[in-house]
Structure 1
Amino acid sequence: MIPRTLFSEEHEIIRDSVRRFIATEITPHHAAWEKEGMVPRALWRKAGEAGLLCTAIPAEYGGMGGDFLHGAIIIEEMARAGATGPTFYLHSEIISPYLLHYGTEEQKRTWLPRMAAGEVVTALGMTEPSGGSDLQNLKTTAIRDGDDYVINGQKVFITAGHSADLLMLACKTDPKAGARGVSLILVETERTGFQRGQRLEKIGCKAQDTSELFFSDLRVPVTNLLGEEGRGFYQLMKELAQERLVQAIRAVAASEAALEWTIDYAVQRKMFGQTLADFQNTQFKLAEMKTELAAQRVFVDRCIELHLQARLDAVDAAMAKLNATELQGKVMDQCLQFFGGWGYMSEYPIARAFVDARMARIGGGSSEVMKQIIARSLLPDNRKRSG
């Protein structure tokens, strides 16, 4: 077994506390949340009290003052437990860095302490019905009118969209300027002109509320602009490497957990006078998955290490997400097969993990978008144009 060298003894103590929190506050209730279609607000406050939110945010803004490794521990343990309902990773590792890196001092002091405490739940408003991953062609507009922006448009597939108190909204402040017209604006969901659509029914991640969002002449002050006007596309591209690394970390951890469940099942399942694990085919399949996951774990850990050094680029992050999520789909499918008919029953964790995993090849940029990013870095003409 290749040892992991990223985490210190202090990190492992934190990991133990995260596991206890999940075992006490999440796992016993997750099935009920899946039926309800969302997690209770009280869980966010408990997570805040336990120090599980915004761990990389400096203490002066209410965070733990840690680094990305602390968040990675929480991401891994949530994925291993199949806890797809609470979107702590989105809130802490994807949205809070935008506020920290691009927010004004007032914005940071207004929102980050409340986010770290679990008093405010956040969502990222990027995807549109006609746009998908094409951020340059957003249709949602935010047109300057005096000291306000007037926002009109629609977003779809917004994770935590039904429960969010604060949106980080990608929109066009200059509809004719392409990528240079994209800006990021903070939108409080209590404002007039904001409306949530129905909670969307998904095949997996059922405890995670996902919604359509509508904006009709919604006014926000210009002070809600995050960073500079027209720099939203640049900001998104800058931060997407971490988002894709988060997805890779989740994919590997979930896959490792599925393999562990499958090994436990195989050594107990009796078939034709022996256990499922006694069959050579079972042993070979388990060996293949273990080997592929070990190699993927080393690559993702190296990407984490590079990210901690601010050296992880968009191409490496795309490769990590592409390979980890594609492997996750393969592992979940093979593991479910070993469970036979029981694997098709939603009461078994492997069944839920199988359908939950399908989102990973779409969210945070589809596999096809990842391939395009990687391919552009390989072709001489594209390298010349990007330079």
Structure 2
Amino acid sequence: MVSTMEINKDDSRSFLTEEHLLFKQSIREFLAKEAVPFYDQWEKEGGIPCSFWKKIGDNGFLCPWLDVDFGGIGADFGYSVVLAEELEMVGSALGGISIHSDVVAPYISSFGTIDQKQRYLPKFISGELISAFALTEPGMDSELGDIQTTAIRKDGYYIVNGAKTFVTNGFKADFMIVACKTDLNAVHSQGGISLLIIDKDTPGFSRGRKLGKTGQGCLDTAELFFDDASVPVGNLLGEEGKGLSYIMQKLQQERLMCAIGSLMAAKEMLHLTMNFIRGRKAFDKKISKYKNAQFTIAEIATDIHLGRTFVDGLICKHMTGANIIAEVSMAKYWITEMSKRISDKCMQLHDGYGNIGDDKIAQRHRDIPLTTFFTGTDETVKTLIAKNIGF
């Protein structure tokens, strides 16, 4: 059992209150019982069971920031940070739960009609519904305006045609928010993109294969196909043609969540490595006594401390509603790349044991490279940074 005192030692951070720490303690104890013992099996099976989603919802950990009218408690973003970090401590593949709770749900909360909010949001919280956001397409480049999936309005429906790929939660999702081109004549820079809520039983919708990945084995990732899929016009999210604007509004939080998860993964790799080398010897001398090991650990700890300071400052700014998309993009790019470097150093310090497939450090080493592609490739993120600093 983890005490509040133990949590406080690790998290004396300005935005965390006693209530946040109690929330953290509850999540950690829940995950220790309901996730940690089963995580390796979920990795082998390639998915997290729906029963776990229901359990985490029943315990009140999903979307606590939602208004009380829809079942939330109106909590601040600090609770989302706590949830993301505790999930990452168990394993990166639990990140789909944060995407559901803190990436997809905010779209409906911000842009949905009262009917849409009442229909979906309470079941976001309970874990009864699993959600996904479908943006990326096969062969799509970094320009969001290049979306090829079309949605043509006809007789009270949008007729949707196209395909999406790399959709997190896509294989099990009960519904997904799908970015579609609704104005085929729109200027490229404006895109003519709209967001539609598409339920899993929509005629003309089908799922492709569950995508295999080099890491994050139980993170549900899928292809989605739309062949004259008939979506009621009432499932339009927000206003027609404003999809790109909505995506840009939510990109700040999405990239911040990615940076938070990657930073926690780096921290976990440091702890794994320190614990490993403390108990190992080489040439009758503890590895921890070698200067090279000490220097490497010092470098890793310094990187993590700098990253934590940067990200915690961004969290505080984000909680005040500040526009920090450029800074958040910097954090996402730099921290995901930093975590990759750290994983290589940690593997080196584990020597041959790091190459054992079931070892935790090997799992982290497989998982962490995928984060560099989340919310946009490094090149896409750097392009946005350059534009935002006036270059």
Q: Verify same fold: TM over 0.5.
A: yes
CA positional deviation for 1:180: 3.8
Q: Does 1:149 align with 2:148?
A: no
Q: Does 1:127 align with 2:136?
A: yes
CA positional deviation for 1:85: 3.7
| Structure 1 residue corresponding to 2:203, chosen from 162, 172, 192 | 192
Q: Would you say the 8 A contact 1:175–1:181 is kept in 2? A: yes
Corresponding residue for 1:73?
82
What amino acid maps onto 1:373 in structure 2?
A: L
Q: Does 1:370 align with 2:367?
A: no
Q: Would you say the 8 A contact 1:144–1:150 is kept in 2? A: yes
CA positional deviation for 1:67: 1.5
After TM superposition, list the pairs within 5 Å mapping 1:15-94 onto structure 2: 15-85=24-94, 87-94=96-103
| Structure 1 residue corresponding to 2:119, chosen from 93, 110, 116 | 110
Which has the higher mean CA deviation after the structures are superposed, 237-246 or 366-375? 366-375
Corresponding residue for 1:225?
236
Cα distance in 2 for residues equivalent to 1:117 and 1:132: 36
TM-score by length of 2: 0.95
Corresponding residue for 1:136?
145
Q: Does 1:246 align with 2:261?
A: no
CA positional deviation for 1:2: 9.5
Q: Would you say the 8 A contact 1:127–1:133 is kept in 2? A: no
Specify the SS of the correspondent of 1:156. strand
Structure 2 CA distance for partners of 1:39 and 1:125, relative to 1, 3 Å? same
CA positional deviation for 1:86: 5.7
Corresponding residue for 1:274?
285
Corresponding residue for 1:359?
370
CA positional deviation for 1:167: 0.5
After TM superposition, list the pairs within 5 Å mapping 1:157-196 onto structure 2: 157-177=166-186, 178=188, 179-196=190-207
Specify the SS of the correspondent of 2:346. helix
Q: Would you say the 8 A contact 1:30–1:85 is kept in 2? A: no
Task: Render the CA deviation track for 1:298-333: whole Å, top value 9, x for unaligned.
Answer: 100000000000104210110110111111111111
What amino acid maps onto 2:172 in structure 1?
A: S
Specify the SS of the correspondent of 1:379. coil
Task: Render the CA deviation track for 1:349-387: whole Å, top value 9, x for unaligned.
Answer: 11111111011111111111111111112335xxxxxxx
Which has the higher mean CA deviation after the structures are superposed, 341-350 or 68-77? 341-350
Task: Render the CA deviation track for 1:279-298: whole Å, top value 9, x for unaligned.
Answer: 00000110011111101101
Specify the SS of the correspondent of 1:87. helix
CA positional deviation for 1:62: 1.6
Task: Render the CA deviation track for 1:118-147: whole Å, top value 9, x for unaligned.
Answer: 000001100000214321110000100021
Q: Does 1:216 align with 2:232?
A: no
Give 5+ residue unaligned stretches, structure 2: 1-9
CA positional deviation for 1:80: 1.8
Cα distance in 2 for residues equivalent to 1:151 and 1:93: 26
TM-score by length of 1: 0.96
Task: Render the CA deviation track for 1:180-236: whole Å, top value 9, x for unaligned.
Answer: 410000000111101100111100010011111100111111110000000000000
Which has the higher mean CA deviation after the structures are superposed, 115-124 or 52-61? 52-61
Cα distance in 1 for residues equivalent to 2:183 and 2:77: 34
What amino acid maps onto 2:93 in structure 1?
A: T
Specify the SS of the correspondent of 2:268. helix
Cα distance in 1 for residues equivalent to 2:19 and 2:285: 43
Percent identical residues: 37
Corresponding residue for 2:108?
99
CA positional deviation for 1:64: 3.0
Which has the higher mean CA deviation after the structures are superposed, 371-380 or 352-361? 371-380
Which has the higher mean CA deviation after the structures are superposed, 56-65 or 199-208? 56-65
CA positional deviation for 1:348: 1.2
Aligned residues: 380
Cα distance in 2 for residues equivalent to 1:25 and 1:64: 23
Corresponding residue for 2:7?
none
Specify the SS of the correspondent of 2:348. helix
Q: Would you say the 8 A contact 1:150–1:217 is kept in 2? A: yes
Cα distance in 2 for residues equivalent to 1:118 and 1:284: 45
Specify the SS of the correspondent of 1:195. strand
Cα distance in 2 for residues equivalent to 1:55 and 1:142: 33
RMSD: 1.3
Specify the SS of the correspondent of 2:93. coil
Cα distance in 2 for residues equivalent to 1:132 and 1:155: 13
Cα distance in 2 for residues equivalent to 1:68 and 1:85: 19
Q: Does 1:201 align with 2:212?
A: yes
Q: Would you say the 8 A contact 1:244–1:318 is kept in 2? A: yes
Structure 2 CA distance for partners of 1:350 and 1:77, relative to 1, 3 Å? same
Corresponding residue for 1:350?
361
Cα distance in 2 for residues equivalent to 1:342 and 1:188: 45
Task: Render the CA deviation track for 1:223-252: whole Å, top value 9, x for unaligned.
Answer: 100000000000000100100000000011
Q: Does 1:311 align with 2:322?
A: yes
Cα distance in 2 for residues equivalent to 1:180 and 1:207: 34
Structure 2 CA distance for partners of 1:2 and 1:156, relative to 1, 3 Å? closer
Cα distance in 2 for residues equivalent to 1:277 and 1:176: 64
Cα distance in 2 for residues equivalent to 1:93 and 1:217: 30
Q: Would you say the 8 A contact 1:38–1:85 is kept in 2? A: no
